[in-house]
Structure 1
Amino acid sequence: MLSIVGILTIGIIVALLISGRVTPIVGLVLVPVIGALITGFSLDAIGGFFNEGIDSVISVVIMFIFAILFFGIMQDTGLFDPFINRVVSLTRGSVVAVAVGTVAIGAVTHLDGSGASTFLITIPALLPVYLKLGMSPYLLLLLVGLSASIMNMVPWAGPIGRAGSVLGVDPTELWRPLIPLQIAAMILLLLLAAFLGFREKKRIARRSEEISDEAAEEVAATLDTAAEEDEEKESLRRPKLIWINGLITLSMIAMLVWGIVPTGFVFMIALSIALPLNYPKVTDQMDRIKTHAPNALMMGSIILAAGSFLGIMEGTGMLDAIAVDMVAILPAFIVPYLHVIMGVFGVPFDLILSTDAYYFALLPVVEQIVTSAGVDSVTAAYTMIIGNIIGTFVSPFSPALWLALGLAGLEMGKHIRYSFFWVWGFSIVLMVVALLLGII
């Protein structure tokens, strides 16, 4: 009974998340409660499961809220502008250099973990360059998406936080072993960008026609939009404080790597220093918080809802029941490698599952199954994370990707056809690299 209700609960949540009929919060909160009531648990018992689940994720919620606020304010101050502008100026006129520079810009702009802000910065800045050189805008989206996906491994970006809440592990603890993989992945992506740049250069050479009128109009529209945004944001820039802001950011990252202070507390301190330093007026400080609060609170509320879901699923024993029954059904030789199979097909899962469904519905079940076969739960999580995270921005369930497509005037179907196999192949290569590094 527990197993059947548990599978139905997860299936309904996944279906709701895929259909987009309800927000993740509604599905993650209501469906498990109904499932627990059906299996005979009282409201008092469900309340206890809820408390246990919330206790397991509250530190993650604190980290997310203050991390998003901090990096959002650093973006406002223009901390990353000199780097972006320098790369753009250096790469003009060279197709290969533009491709390689796109990766660098994508990585830096995604330090805040927000896909929306990454695309808002990179697309308007680089699309005119791509169109002027006759380069495919879909290549721009592929490279920025891959670069941002690699940076998505930072604990405040989303996937690691979700996995941490599922495992009951501090996301920063999960992130530290992934740092060598991130470095290796960026090197591999730079090489891939150079290769794709050479391929694009040959394609352009074969194509003699000029940029179409429609493309030229897109360039003009993008430049106009960028100019308007620059006017609005200029008052927030703090060029004279760039070195101090850089020092604060580097010190904060060093503290995260060191791990002696709780992650959420590090971001609290960094935000408390940076906010009055850059915006002395209280009204300006409140404006900055209000601007970035929606993203922070949305992510925090989803993690809290996930804590409720996991607390109820674990407290009722539904996850354990599913794992035990599936182990009995699956061939014995598959069970110890189920997480590897899921990791290999992580990017295709991005086409049918949202990030929330993958981490809050699929990961807990797989983790329960493979740990029964002696696989370490963290190893199982790493395998599924690495296999899936690279496909973040090829998924139609990514709101930030739709924003990018709108900014660039591109189509989702063409983007998936252009990028899917490059992204999937890159994810499998990273799994091999992670294996060689001893991460999985």
Structure 2
Amino acid sequence: MLSFLGFFMIGLFMLFIMMKKLTPLTALVLIPVAIATLAGYGPDLGPMMKKGVQDIAFTGVMLIFAILYFSLMIDTGLFEPLVRLIRRNVGNDPIKTTLGTVALTTLVSLDGDGSSTYLIVVAALLPVYKKQGIKPLVLTCLIMLSGGIMNILPWGGPTARVMSSLQLGHSDIFVPMIPVMAIGIVWVFIVAYILGYYEKKRIAKEGKNDEYTESTIQMDEDNTLRRPKLIWVNLILTLVLLSTMILDVIPLGIAFMLAFCFASVINYPKLKDQQKIIGKHAGNALSVAGMIFGAGIFTGILNGTGIMQAMGTSAINIIPHSWNNALSSITAIFSVPLTFFLTNDAYYFGILPIVEATGEQLGVASDILGRASLVGQASHLLSPLVPSTYLLVSLAGVEFADHLRYTLKWAIGSSIIMLFAALALGII
């Protein structure tokens, strides 16, 4: 019963946002509250929602200050040399632009933080897409596909959860996945070429696209905020921030908060300029934060009612016993829907231990199952339960539902390619 409620809840959520009947925020809050109340959990909803928001609160803090910090750095012109280099090389060719999108996203994703990747890449390439008339959905699609594969980096989150859950090292889980990731990135370059080719043909036939919303106006340049003389200072500050992030010296949210405060004072000593920066980007930051806290209520109810665990257990139980010899392949296949409909924490700390225990009885090594569980990450970032996804669509000025419909088939393709690559290479 619980698992049915969970799948029904998520299905209803997906239906409402894809039909554009509710915004993601209102759907994240109202649907689980309504379903849980009807199921008799009304009196317990308060503590569940409170815990869900508390669990995700620090992520909200991190994203708010990450948005403010990198938005400030964009305003100062820190990434202008990179933007000029990209624009000079892509010219007016949509194919070169889409290929450049994958290359830039892959490079920037090395920091392991999806939010900063979205901010930097969208700021660098959205003006190019607008100038050439390429659909903004192409930009969000390629960024998500590239970021999904790079999310397997040990400091990206999922791999760290696998290593912690199974008590294994990065040499057991991550290092064997490197060739699989490389093949995945090659696939994304192929997708980029295909999308660029069709956009080039479409533009030649129909003219330039006009799908941009008013939210993209925020990305336009404001030369009064440029600080070209401080570019090296800002670069050093950003590198220190990224190093702190990778080395995990202090909590990431605190690191972004400190970095933003330092950057504000260094670049804009006058109070009115600091207020201008905050006012300019506060709307975007608060919009994303609202989505995050909405997701906290959603997952808080799923976890508090036991629905999340029931969903995962029921998914495992439907596997026929005759398929036990193919447990690693089954784990990889099921990781795609499970990491889409569940949070990474729920999957890797709640479901993966069950899979490991099953594998132990069947003689399947834990490291194999751990690597298999990462295949689904190729499409995980498309999940409505990933807070940073709302930042991406907000920055690019597209609807989440449109992004989901446009990107889903390519994301599933990424998972299939990585699955076959892992099987062919004997990784799983």
Range into which the TM-score falls when normalised by the shorter chain: 0.5 to 0.7
Deviations 1:354-403 (A, max 9, x none): x9x7455x9957975554232789767633222444899xxxx9896698
> Corresponding residue for 1:50?
49
* 1:306 to 2:295 alignment: yes
**Aligned-CA RMSD value:** 5.3
- Checking the alignment, whether the CA contact within 8 Å between 2:177 and 2:371 is kept in structure 1 is no
Shift of 1:283: 2.0
Of 322, 333, 346, the match for 1:341:
333
- The more displaced of 363-372 and 430-439 is 430-439
Whole-Å separation in 2 of the counterparts to 1:372 and 1:154:
26
Q: Secondary structure at the match of 1:39?
A: helix
> Corresponding residue for 2:142?
146
> Corresponding residue for 1:240?
229
Percent sequence identity over aligned pairs: 27
Whole-Å separation in 1 of the counterparts to 2:37 and 2:195:
58
- The more displaced of 102-111 and 260-269 is 102-111
Note closer, same or farther for the CA distance 1:317–1:255 as it changes in structure 2 (3 Å cut).
same
> Corresponding residue for 1:25?
25
Deviations 1:240-280 (A, max 9, x none): 11101110111100011101211111111111111121112
Q: Secondary structure at the match of 2:356?
A: coil
Gaps of 5+ in 2: 165-169, 212-216, 358-365
1:389-408 correspondence runs (5 A): 389=381
Q: Secondary structure at the match of 1:261?
A: coil
Shift of 1:191: 9.5
Shift of 1:66: 1.0
Give the letter aligned to residue 28 of structure 1. Answer: L
> Corresponding residue for 2:61?
62
**TM-score between both structures, scaled by the size of structure 1:** 0.65
Give the letter aligned to residue 332 of structure 2. Answer: V
> Corresponding residue for 1:372?
354
1:209-220 correspondence runs (5 A): 215=207, 218=208
> Corresponding residue for 2:167?
none
- Checking the alignment, whether the CA contact within 8 Å between 2:56 and 2:293 is kept in structure 1 is yes
Q: Secondary structure at the match of 1:41?
A: helix
Whole-Å separation in 1 of the counterparts to 2:195 and 2:288:
39
- Checking the alignment, whether the CA contact within 8 Å between 2:64 and 2:286 is kept in structure 1 is yes
> Corresponding residue for 1:85?
84
Shift of 1:76: 1.0
Deviations 1:26-67 (A, max 9, x none): 222233333333333352x32222233223222211111111
- Checking the alignment, whether the CA contact within 8 Å between 1:67 and 1:112 is kept in structure 2 is yes
Deviations 1:59-101 (A, max 9, x none): 2111111111111111111111112213433555999876654
Shift of 1:300: 2.2
Whole-Å separation in 2 of the counterparts to 1:243 and 1:384:
39
Of 243, 265, 273, the match for 2:254:
265
Shift of 1:14: 2.7
1:101-120 correspondence runs (5 A): 101-105=100-104, 113=116, 115=118, 118-119=121-122
* 1:386 to 2:382 alignment: no
**TM-score between both structures, scaled by the size of structure 2:** 0.67
Shift of 1:317: 1.9
> Corresponding residue for 1:317?
306
- Checking the alignment, whether the CA contact within 8 Å between 1:178 and 1:439 is kept in structure 2 is no
Note closer, same or farther for the CA distance 1:63–1:379 as it changes in structure 2 (3 Å cut).
farther
- The more displaced of 53-62 and 368-377 is 368-377
Shift of 1:102: 4.7
- Checking the alignment, whether the CA contact within 8 Å between 1:338 and 1:366 is kept in structure 2 is no
Whole-Å separation in 1 of the counterparts to 2:93 and 2:312:
54
> Corresponding residue for 2:41?
41
Whole-Å separation in 1 of the counterparts to 2:47 and 2:192:
54
Give aligned pairs, total.
386
